[in-house]
Amino acid sequence: MVFVSLEKTVKTMIFKPVIFLPMIVVALVVYLLSNLTTWVLERPITDFVLYSEAFAGTDILSVFLTNYPLETIAMLLCGIFVLLLSIIALLSMARVANGKKFVQAINESVLEWKKSLGLTIFVLVVSFLLFILWYVVATIFGIVSDFVAVVAVTDFLLLILLPIIIFVVGLILLVRLAFVLPAFVDNNVKKAFQKSWDFSQKKFISNLVLIIVVLIITYILWNWISYIGVLVDIEIIFDLLGDVIATTFFGLAVSYYYFK
C-alpha cells in the first residue's frame, strides 16, 4: 500500500501539475507575510540589539507579551492565517486524492473555511499544551540533573535520554495524527482526530514505514531543490519551489494512503 500511495502521488504531480497551485498560493502568502513580520519586529529587534545586557537572563516570551503586545498579536494573527490557509490547501489535495476534481476540491475546501478555522484553533491549542508539557519535562530533567550533580549522569539525562524521549513521543504522535486532514474531509474536528488515531492503531507499523519514507523523500526533495537555488544564485525562488513540491508530496502521499 505504501508503494501504491507513492506511485499515485508521483503520477498526480507529473500529469496534474495544477495540484501545486494551493501550496504555491500558501508559499507566496508566507513570503509576503515574512516581509511584513520583519517590519513588525523592527522595534523589538532594535531594542534587543541596543539593550542586550538589560534582556540577559530574562524570559523572552514574557518580555514580548508585556513590552510588545501589539507586535505579539500581529505575529499571532499572521500565524493563524498561514495555518488556516495551509489547512485549506492540504484539504484540497486530500479531496483530489479522494477522487474529486481539482476545481471542485478547491471550492469545497474554501467554502468550508469556518470548519477549517475550528481545526486551526484546535491545532494551536494542542500545540501550546504540547509545548507546556515539553517545558515541564525539560524542567524536571534539569532539576534531577542538578540534584544528581554528576557530570556523566547529567550529560546522559539532558543530551541522550531527554532527546530520545522527545523524538519517540513526537514520532508516535506524528504517526497517530498524520491522517487528521484526510479524515477531516468528511468529519468534524473531534471525529477526524479519532479516525486518524484509530486508523494508525490498526496498522501502526505500516503507517510508521509510510511516514518515515515520506519524510525522507520530502526532505530530499526540499534539500535538493534548495541546493539548486544556491548553485544558480536564485535561492528565494528555489526555496519557495522546494517548499511547494515537498509539502505537496507529503500531503498527497498521506491522503492517497488513507483513501486507498
Nearest 5 degrees, angle CA 64-CA 69-CA 70?
125
Task: Specify whether the CB–CB gap between 257 and 210 falls below 8 A.
Answer: yes
Helix orientation angle between 60-67 and 42-50, rounded to the nearest 10 degrees: 120
List b or e across 170-209, with b for residues whose CB sees 16 or more CB atoms inside 10 angstroms: eeeeebbbbbbbbbbbebebeebbebbeebbeeeeeebbe
Per-residue pLDDT for 206 more than 70?
yes
Tell me, what's the pLDDT at 155? 66
Cell reading at 158: 539532558
Burial of 56 per CB tally in 10 Å (0-12, 13-18, 19+): exposed
With residues binned 3-state (H G I as helix, E B as strand, rest as coil), the percentages for the chain, rounded to 5, are: 90, 0, 10
Task: Specify whether the CB–CB gap between 246 and 7 falls below 8 A.
Answer: no
**pTM for the predicted model, two decimal places:** 0.85
Q: What is the pLDDT of residues 151-164, one digit of tens each?
A: 566 666 667 777 78
Q: Identify residue 194 by its one-letter amino acid code.
A: Q
Tell me, what's the pLDDT at 248? 95
Per-residue pLDDT for 104 more than 90?
yes
Task: Specify whether the CB–CB gap between 25 and 240 falls below 8 A.
Answer: no
| pLDDT, mean of residues 212-219 | 92
Neighbours of 22 (CB within 10 A): 27
pLDDT mean across residues, the chain: 84
Tell me, what's the pLDDT at 251? 94
Most confident residue range from 40-44, 75-79, 109-113 = 109-113
